[in-house]
Amino acid sequence: MSKNVYVGMSGGVDSSVTAALLKQQGYQVTGVYMKNWSQDLPGFVCPWKEDFQDAKRVAVQLGIDFKMYDFETEYRQKVVDYMVREYQAGRTPNPDVMCNQEVKFKLFLETALEDGADMIATGHYARITDGHLLIGLDKGKDQSYFLYRVNESALKRSLMPIGELQKTEVRKLAKQFGLATADKKDSQGICFVGKVGIKDFLLSEVGPQPHGDIIDQNGVKIGEHDGALFYTIGQRHGLQVGGGLPYYVTGKDVQSNQVFVTTDLQDDQLWSKQLKLADIHWINGEPDLTKDYAVRTRYRAPLVAVNRISKTNKHLTLDLAEDVRAVTSGQSAVIYDGDICLGGGIVV
């Protein structure tokens, strides 16, 4: 008997091809659109209705059942509120990581299983083998970084067929299948904000912030910012500090409402050779920390060799083989053993 697979269909080409491939492979496929966010923002209409219709169109083309799960309330609590809290605390969170942990591979999985599914599937560029998470074959599109907080038990109930493909092959397959989304552009920006920038989104959530001083590497005030929480380490755009060399954000203090900058790309404040991580999550249990691993400090950043990992009750300290630029508290650092994603933690 064929297995019932519920495919998370976002209305994009990746999840459309995922559904088509699984149907071709003989699974009993049901498409599910997760309604996580529908709120319009200033100057921008949320595209959820259009995405829903695109997902539905593909389901009709494939002759599969289609339904919608409304997760807006949970999404607001688990992802959006978390993200806003982190920014207000002076950190830079990754909402996509939280979305995968709390919504796609928890809420969606649990709801689908209760609904009669044997497994779920998503259009992620990553691979699953025996409950282990592996880097997607298209290294430029690999999304394992965003998936490091998923549990082994969830991975054993999940499929990611396009993780075995290059993006160009996915586009080609979409055309071969004649899918309505074959030429649809990839969505950009935060998972739920679409084309709205993070600053505009935060402004709509927390309102205008008190202005404060921008301080350079010599301790001199060189301008004003419009709210420290909007800035992130390494940022060089949007500072409105005129003239001469570009400035880079090296730090911020949300308590005193100051943003610190430098014109020196070699400034020690911009580079780290050691990472301290909290809120550690291992996908398949804690690995042997004496082995040689590599770490990725942001999506698409190159892997950096780890010389040593030391552990206390709540933290891991990683000594790196080379300096890494613009490591930011709140972001995720993800640890790999070759192609296997082991897990990781939040930079403190």
Catalytically active residues, by annotation: 99, 191
Q: Are 178 and 16 in contact (CB under 8 A)?
A: no
Q: Are 241 and 247 in contact (CB under 8 A)?
A: yes
Instruction: Give the whole-angstrom CA distance, residue 309 versus residue 330.
Output: 19
Instruction: Give the whole-angstrom CA distance, residue 17 versus residue 15.
Output: 5
Name the helix (H) or strand (E) containing 58: helix 48-62
Q: Are 131 and 155 in contact (CB under 8 A)?
A: yes
Residue 304, CA distances (Å) to 268, 275, 298, 328, 340 in order? 18, 12, 11, 16, 15
SS3 311: strand
Token pair of 259 as six digits: 């943003």
Kindly give the interhelix angle for 48-62 and 13-24, rounded to the nearest 10 degrees.
20
Q: How many CB atoms lie within 10 A of CB 216?
A: 17
Hey, CA dihedral for 348, 153, 144, 83, is it positive or negative?
negative
Instruction: Give the whole-angstrom CA distance, residue 31 versus residue 48.
Output: 16
Name the helix (H) or strand (E) containing 221: strand 221-225
β-bridge partners, 120: 6, 158
Chain position carrying tokens 């001469």: 244
Token pair of 86 as six digits: 């982190």
